[in-house]
């Protein structure tokens, strides 16, 4: 993966591609030493010496280091945030060092809400907690103990934050892309692309008068109308082996830079796309994939859940909370990459809890007529197999255990939600992990999106998850764009997505979603389900988080 650089330096190279002048950004004038000093303070809470910065909050509480990272509150973009009634102001240089004017002010001499900060007034604010107008800052704002050199570094760094519109945005259009594979089922790709194209068409049709308003906005509503852009969603179809995907992505991006990737359908191999997005500081929202990158340090990729790894984590959580100690045997299909990913996830989580795990390869059982493992006490059998292979093993398991049936755990992601083929002897002992809303409640949950699909005549019951995820990503992106109000900075866009997820009324196929700044998976829960007396799949627990 390429080493990331601050967006400011990337901006110097690529703003010419997107129709925006970089005249306000003079890369040659950047003092790299001051920039690094400021960045270290802003992102890590460290002084030039490498020592943690110290400060006082709430009048007399001494804090230092990680408790004083500017980015935590003012965010990576420098555009501020809100938390309840608490408002953290924007401190990106182009805002901080200019007078803050009311958006409805009457030209040519609009009233000023506050004066622009200078080096001296900023030092007073940071050290003493007094703003540029002489008013005390909120007591939650730390009073930092920094010197002039550190302040110089900080102002240099702030000047680089959110300087000019990110690539993919012109004066009239905002460009997005969605990624699909040529090797996907044609009907699955079509299900996704139908949602994308018709949503774009409807959005641009319904706002067809906004272009005129943007060009001739009244003085008191320029802040509302000027940011309007038409949407254009490009399809990036990847072909061939995974190793060729990065070069394909680079060529597609060079041909037409985009502001963000929305959704996409790549069942496995998403790591290549993830790395591309992170290296380009390119937001990627909610791809439909079972192989997201599960790591602590990244910013631009936000996923629905952990995919196959989440299935393993969910079963590990269920088994580790069992009232009795268990021995786990998991059957793995080595021809299925997702089966191996889920098995690895389960093994890692159970070993952390000192629970024994035995791996059995499905191919070994079939090719050698290997005896199924049933002899261990308190055995739990986990099958990471599709329905046909699962039914085959359950039948064989039933024949060699005539008097007792071992506990069996399945994932509906692998087996599905139809239980008709499971032998009746196993109905009481089989449990399912289900990581989305239960089938009997899914229709109501998706009423809003399926109504739209049906009105557009694109509804596909066999690809409902694909369509629901695409619709979800479009709605979130649209709401976030409204919130950034023309500040087309990718970091700020991501921060708005983070902030709004907990309150959105649409959750795709998940009963609830949430997101915090240090999280990148919006759904982390699961149901434990089983087979009821009528042979249907029903949940035995409420929605649980691992």
Query: Could you write out the three-class secondary structure of 247-295?
Result: HHHHHHHHHCCCCEEECCECCCCHHHHHHHHHHCCCCEECCECCCCCCC
The pLDDT of residue 424: 86
Q: Which CATH class is domain 173-304+443-503?
A: alpha beta
Q: Which of 348, 424, 341, 426 is nearest to 381 (CA)?
A: 426
Residues 510, 437 contacting (CB under 8 angstroms): yes
DSSP class per residue in 26-82: -GGG--HHHHHHHHHHHHH-B-TTSPBPEEEETTTEEEEGGGG-HHHHHTTTS--EE
**Separation CA 88–CA 109 (nearest Å):** 27
The pLDDT of residue 336: 96
Query: Quick one: DSSP state of residue 442?
Result: H
The CB-based long-range contact list for 135-140 (8 Å cut-off, 24+ gap) reads 138/86, 139/57, 139/58, 139/59, 140/57, 140/58, 140/86
Q: Locate the DSSP E strands across 60-205.
A: 61-64, 81-83, 86-88, 100-101, 112-114, 143-144, 173-181
The pLDDT of residue 86: 81
Sheet holding 54-57, edge to edge: 61-64, 54-57, 143-144
The pLDDT of residue 61: 86
The pLDDT of residue 225: 52
The pLDDT of residue 7: 39
Per-residue CA distances from 483 to 219, 224, 227, 332, 477 (Å)? 20, 11, 11, 46, 10
The pLDDT of residue 20: 33
Instruction: Enumerate residues 6+ apart whose C-beta is below 8 A from 388.
Output: none
List the structure tokens of 128: 């003493």
Q: Which of 125, 122, 123 is nearest to 135 (CA)?
A: 125
To which CATH superfamily is domain 309-434+527-539 assigned? Response regulator (3.40.50.2300)
The pLDDT of residue 400: 66
The pLDDT of residue 202: 92
Per-residue CA distances from 473 to 122, 279, 402, 469, 501 (Å)? 39, 22, 50, 6, 11
Query: Quick one: DSSP state of residue 169?
Result: B
Residues 143, 129 contacting (CB under 8 angstroms): yes
Q: Which of 155, 169, 141 is nearest to 80 (CA)?
A: 141
List the structure tokens of 326: 């268990």
Residues 69, 55 contacting (CB under 8 angstroms): no
The pLDDT of residue 546: 78
Residues 199, 141 contacting (CB under 8 angstroms): no
The pLDDT of residue 376: 62
Residues 75, 495 contacting (CB under 8 angstroms): yes
The pLDDT of residue 340: 97
**Separation CA 17–CA 423 (nearest Å):** 61
Neighbours of 33 (CB within 10 A): 13
Output b/e per residue, 214-250; b: 16+ Cβ within 10 A. beebeeeebebbebbbbbbbbebebeeeeeebbebbe
The pLDDT of residue 10: 41
Chunked into runs of 10 residues, the chain (546 residues) has average pLDDT values of 39 33 47 93 94 89 85 93 84 91 64 87 93 91 93 94 91 95 98 97 78 58 66 97 98 98 97 97 98 91 97 95 84 96 97 92 76 67 95 81 77 96 89 97 95 96 97 96 90 95 94 92 97 93 91
Return the axis-axis angle of helices 464-484 and 490-500, rounded to nearest 10°.
110
**Separation CA 396–CA 371 (nearest Å):** 9
The pLDDT of residue 293: 96
Q: Where are the domains of the chain?
A: 26-158, 173-304+443-503, 309-434+527-539
The pLDDT of residue 416: 96
Total length of the chain: 546
**Separation CA 305–CA 302 (nearest Å):** 9
């Amino acid at each position: 993966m390429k080493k990331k650089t601050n967006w400011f330096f990337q901006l110097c190279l690529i703003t010419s591609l997107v129709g925006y002048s970089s005249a306000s950004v003079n890369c040659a004038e950047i003092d790299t030493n001051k920039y690094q000093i400021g960045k270290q303070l802003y992102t890590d809470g460290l002084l030039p010496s490498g020592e943690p910065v110290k400060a006082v909050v709430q009048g007399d509480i001494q804090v230092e280091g990680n408790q004083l990272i500017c980015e935590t509150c003012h965010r990576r973009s420098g555009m501020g945030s809100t938390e309840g009634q608490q408002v953290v102001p924007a401190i990106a240089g182009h805002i901080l060092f200019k007078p803050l004017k009311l958006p409805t002010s009457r030209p040519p001499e609009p009233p000023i809400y506050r004066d622009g900060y200078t080096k001296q007034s900023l030092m007073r604010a940071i050290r003493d907690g007094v703003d540029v107008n002489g008013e005390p800052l909120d007591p939650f704002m730390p009073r930092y103990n920094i010197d002039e050199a550190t302040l110089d570094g900080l102002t240099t760094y702030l000047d680089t934050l959110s300087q000019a519109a990110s690539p993919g945005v012109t004066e009239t259009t905002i460009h997005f892309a969605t990624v699909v594979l040529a090797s996907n089922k044609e009907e699955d790709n079509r299900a996704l692309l139908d949602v994308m194209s018709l949503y774009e068409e409807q959005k641009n049709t319904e706002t067809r008068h906004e272009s005129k308003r943007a060009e001739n906005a009244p003085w008191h509503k320029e802040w509302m109308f000027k940011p309007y852009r038409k949407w254009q969603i490009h399809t990036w179809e990847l072909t061939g082996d995974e190793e060729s995907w990065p070069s394909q992505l680079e060529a597609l991006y060079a041909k037409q830079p985009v502001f963000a990737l929305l959704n996409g359908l790549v069942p496995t191999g998403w790591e290549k796309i993830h790395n591309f997005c992170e290296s380009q500081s390119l937001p990627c929202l909610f791809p439909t994939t079972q192989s997201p990158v599960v790591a602590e340090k990244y910013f631009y990729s936000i996923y629905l859940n952990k995919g196959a790894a989440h299935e393993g984590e969910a079963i590990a959580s269920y088994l580790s909370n069992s009232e009795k100690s268990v021995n786990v045997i998991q059957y793995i299909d080595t021809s299925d990459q997702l089966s191996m990913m889920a098995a690895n996830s389960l093994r890692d989580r159970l070993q952390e809890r000192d629970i024994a795990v035995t791996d059995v390869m499905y191919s070994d059982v079939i090719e050698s007529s290997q005896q199924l493992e049933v002899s261990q006490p308190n055995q739990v059998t986990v099958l990471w197999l599709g329905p046909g292979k699962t039914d085959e093993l359950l039948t064989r398991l039933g024949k060699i255990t005539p008097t007792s049936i071992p506990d069996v755990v399945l994932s509906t992601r692998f087996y599905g939600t139809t239980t008709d083929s499971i032998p009746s002897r196993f109905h009481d002992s089989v449990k399912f992990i289900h990581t989305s809303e239960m089938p009997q409640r899914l229709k109501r949950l998706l009423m809003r999106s399926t109504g739209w699909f049906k009105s557009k005549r694109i509804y596909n019951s066999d690809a409902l998850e694909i369509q629901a995820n695409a619709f979800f990503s479009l709605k979130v992106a649209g709401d976030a764009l409204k919130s950034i109000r023309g500040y087309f900075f990718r970091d700020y866009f991501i921060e708005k997505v983070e902030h709004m997820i907990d309150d959105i009324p649409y959750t795709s196929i998940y009963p609830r979603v949430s997101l915090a700044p240090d999280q990148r998976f919006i759904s982390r829960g699961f149901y434990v389900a089983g087979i009821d007396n009528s042979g249907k799949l029903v949940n035995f627990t409420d929605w649980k988080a691992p």
